[in-house]
Structure 1
Amino acid sequence: MNTKYIDLIEQTYDFPQDEFQLKNNALQFHDINLMELIKTYGAPLKFTYLPKISTNIQRAKTWFNSAIEKHNYKGDYHYCYCTKSSHFKHVLDEALTNDIHIETSSAFDIDIVNKLKDSGKINDETYVICNGFKREKYINNIAELINSGHQKCIPIIDNYEELDLLTKETNKDFQIGIRIASEEEPKFEFYTSRLGIGYKNIVPFYEDQIKDNDQVELKMLHFFINTGIRDNAYYWNELQKCLRVYTRLKKVCPSLDSLNIGGGFPIKNSLYFTYDYEYMVDEVINQIKLTCEEEGVPVPHIFTEFGSFTVGESGGAIYEVLYQKQQNDREKWNMINSSFITTLPDSWAISKRFIMLAVNRWNNQYERVLLGGLTCDSDDYYNSEQHMNAIYLPKYEKENPLYIGFFNTGAYQETIGGYGGLQHCLIPAPKHILIQKNEDGSLHTQLFREQQKSEDLLNILGYYDN
């Protein structure tokens, strides 16, 4: 009778998979011995497997360059990383080893850009695409970067006042982009994105504010939709509307030569996950080329801004099951030694699902459970794995600790959770481990941050005199 956890996983999923293997009754992730990691550093912990960042960047570059060659596409491809997905230095250091560019969202991002320039990680040939609604400090920082001679700093105009604000602060000629305010999916509570300028208003905006402005050159049209790059009618329809705007604008604006199709490649959130990245890239390039040929304009250079795709699959979190509470005849609660609200805020805020697997005891019998966090908030739980109606884990045994892992958690969780700051119910942020490959292929781990201490939190709260 197949009653072991390993039987359940093998019957339910195609297992093992590229990144997940089983060795000595315990889970390995990208050849990381997770039980050894736990023995060395304890749990709870978070980790970042840095090589996965480079792997995904190179995958995307290969897909786009192959499609460009296949279709004899006469434009270049530029990969940008969205710093908002994870601002950590170790993430940027790894990503920038792959000859990529940067997309920013706020004033402090430009301070990071300056630090990266000072350290030689980027230079004046690196595109810095400045997105977002720009307040005074952001405008000033962008202007300072342009005034310093960084000609490939391209602010993306989000509203009608930004161009005037930028020209007042800059003393050099500079290039800009315009963001399209795309229409949202019908299920959204609003029809049009709050970001950017409406489809019908872009050409008039160029005619009124850019065409006769000798200081400014329009280089880029920026297109992004909230649901990401998906093979559905909504995405292809919005892309076609974008391309119609691009070709109209190109006919009256010779300097326009680049199309930024934003980001939104999905990442693996289940062992069932399937997505044909290569097909999607091929079809995007094909659609852009066909539309430009029909309208008689040159094809644009292609920019993408991948954030979650770059860093999401590099991250993981490991918890220990502290205790099991039988609350009624059907519900067993496995209580973890941390909090979902604080460490995986997307699981609580937007019901996002991550890959969740037991780390050890795969040869034990399994049971149906709910997972609860340590805070006193009723929303601090994780109750269903993607494509399944319940969570199944090896049976709880008080004398035989069970560890569970959440994988592909590397994007947004630290920034949304307020890394290094106060956490709900003062649950401390877990320690954070960085994992890199040595030249011989072996893995090297290092402690990036210790778990927060009481003193750290009380100091933020003002209980210590400065």
Structure 2
Amino acid sequence: MNTKYIDLIDQTYHFPQEEFSRNETSLEFHGVDLMKLTAEYGTPLKFTYLPKISENIQRAKKWFANAIEKHDYKGNYNYCYCTKSSHFKHVLNEALKNDIHIETSSAFDINIVESLKAEGKITDKTYVICNGFKRDQYIKNITRLINGGQENCIPIIDNYEELTLLSDGIERDFKVGIRIASEEEPKFEFYTSRLGIGYKNIVPFYEDQIKNNDKVELKMLHFFINTGIRDNAYYWNELVKCLKVYTKLKKVCPSLDSLNIGGGFPIKNSLAFEYDYQYMIDEIVNQINITCEEAEVPVPNIFTEFGSFTVGESGGAIYEILYQKQQNDREKWNMINSSFITTLPDTWAINKRFIMLPLNRWEDEYERVLLGGLTCDSDDYYNSEQNMNAIYLPRFKKDKPLYIGFFNTGAYQETIGGFGGLQHCLIPTPKHILIDKDKNGTISTKLFSEQQTSEQLLNILGYDN
């Protein structure tokens, strides 16, 4: 009878996989021995495997290059990183090694851009696509950036007042884009995105505010839907509607030459994950080609804004199982030495799934359990198998410590969780490790931040006097 955890994995998934393998005692992630990592740094622990960021950027660039060649596409492709997924300097430094551009969403993003520019990581030629609803400070920062010589800074107009506010402060000619307010998926509680300008109002807005404004040049139409790039009728229908707007606008606006299709590539959330990225890109490029040919307008340059796809699969979190609570005859709760609400907030906020695997004891028998966090909140738990209301791990034994890892957690968790700030029930932010690999394949680790201390939390709360 197959009762070992390794048997469960072997009969359920293809294993090992590209990023996951096992040595004699431990799970490895991209060749990193995770039990050695925990032995050196302790748990709870978060880590970022930096090479994965560059790897995913290069993969996307290759897929678009293949599609452009296949369909004889006459436009070019520009990869932008969506900074709100992770603003950390080590993430931006790694991403910018790959000749990419930046998408921002709020005022302080511009300060980050200026810092990177001062260090030579960004030049005046780098595209800085400024999304989001823009109020005073964001407008001032964009104005300062453009006045300072960032010629490829393109504010994306989100409402009818923004163009006037920008024009009042910018001292030179500048470029803009317009964001389409796409229609939401039928299951949403509202019909149209709060972001952007409605389909029917795009051309009138251009003719009213931009066409006769010698200072402003419309360069980009921006399209994004909340569900991301999926092979379903909803996505293709919205894309076609967007392309019709583009061709109609292009006929009255010769300067328009770029289409931003936003982001939304999914990342791996299960060992059974499947998604044909090349097929989707082929179809997108083909649809743009066909629509523009039928309308007899030149094809646009394509921009994307990949956030989670860029950084998500680089991150992980490691916990130790502290204790098991048998609450009734069916439910066993394995308690971790941290909190899901504070360290992986997407698990309870939007029921997001991550890959979860034990680091050790794969040769032991497994059992069905639930995972609980340390806070006194009933929502502080994780259930990766929504249909079964439980997950499987090696059987809990007090004398044999069990460590578990959550993988592909690199996008949004730190910012949503309030990195360095107050956490629910004052659970401290865990230490964070950066993992890199040189050209020879040698792995190195570096402590980015220590676990939060009580002194830091008390200082935030005003108890420092």
Question: Above 0.5 in TM-score?
Answer: yes
Offset at residue 26 of structure 1 (A) = 1.8
Letter in 2 for 1:458: L
Quick one: distance in 2 between partners of 1:117 and 1:384? 41
Report whether the alignment pairs 1:212 with 2:205.
no
CA deviations on 1:9-41 (whole Å, 9 max, x unpaired) are 111111111111011132111101000000000
Partner of 1:428: 428
Q: Tell me if 1:72 matches 2:75.
A: no
One-letter code aligned to 1:274 = E
Counterpart code for 1:81: Y
Describe the SS at the equivalent of 2:60. helix
Q: Look up the match of 1:345.
A: 345
Match of 2:181 in 1: 181
Matched, 1:97 2:93: no
1:57 equivalent to 2:37? Answer no
- Per mean C-alpha deviation after superposition, the further-off stretch among 270-279 and 437-446 is 437-446
2:296 paired with 1:300? no
**Identity score, percent:** 79
TM-score (norm 1): 0.99
**CA offset at residue 387 of structure 1?**
6.7
Distance 1:315 1:386, change over 3 A: farther
> What is the aligned partner in structure 1 of residue 374 from structure 2?
374
- Take 1:306 and 1:386, find their aligned partners in 2: how far apart are those partners? 27
Residue 198 of structure 1 and its aligned partner are, at CA, apart by 0.2
Aligned counterparts of 2:180 and 2:387: Cα–Cα separation in 1: 35
CA contact (8 A) 1:220 1:257 kept: yes
> Please, which runs of 5 or more residues in structure 1 have no aligned partner?
none
Question: Any gaps of 5 or more consecutive residues in structure 2?
Answer: none
C-alpha distance 361-263 of structure 1, shift in aligned 2 (>3 A): same
8 A Cα contact 1:354 1:386, kept in partner: no
1:25-40 maps to which residues of 2 (within 5 A)?
25-40=25-40
Shift of 1:384: 3.0
C-alpha contact (below 8 Å) 2:184/2:225 kept by paired residues:
yes
Classify the secondary structure of the residue corresponding to 1:457.
Answer: helix
Normalised to the residue count of structure 2, the TM-score between the two structures is 0.99
State the match for 1:128 in structure 2: 128
Is 1:253 the counterpart of 2:241 in the alignment?
Answer: no
Q: Secondary structure at the residue paired with 1:319? A: strand
State the match for 1:278 in structure 2. Answer: 278
Distance 1:91 1:388, change over 3 A: farther
Counterpart position of 1:196: 196
CA distance in structure 2 between the partners assigned to 1:217 and 1:384 by the alignment: 48
SS at match of 2:172: coil
Q: 1:370–1:390: 8 Å Cα contact kept in structure 2?
A: yes
> Alpha-carbon deviation of 1:386?
6.3
C-alpha distance in 2, partners of 1:353/1:71? 36
Q: CA RMSD in A?
A: 0.8
Structure 2 match to 1:169: 169
SS in structure 2 at match of 1:180? strand
Cα distance, 1:388 vs. partner?
5.3
After TM superposition, give the deviation of residue 385 of structure 1 in Å: 3.1
Question: Is residue 354–residue 384 contact of structure 2 (8 Å, CA) maintained in 1?
Answer: no
Q: How many residues align?
A: 465
Aligned-pair CA distance for 1:149: 1.2
Matched, 1:450 2:450: yes
Aligned mates of 2:332, 2:71 — CA distance in 1:
56
In 2, Cα distance between the equivalents of 1:329 and 1:155? Answer: 59
- TM-superposed CA distance for 1:399, in Å, is 1.0
Which residue of structure 1 aligns with residue 42 of structure 2?
42
Q: Which residue of 1 aligns with 2:224?
A: 224
Query: 1:400 offset after TM fit, Å?
Result: 0.8
Q: Which runs of 4+ in 1 moved over 4 A?
A: 386-389
Task: Tell me whether 1:22 sits opposite 2:25 in the alignment.
Answer: no
Partner-residue secondary structure (3-state), 1:21: strand
Report SS of the residue matched to 1:414. helix
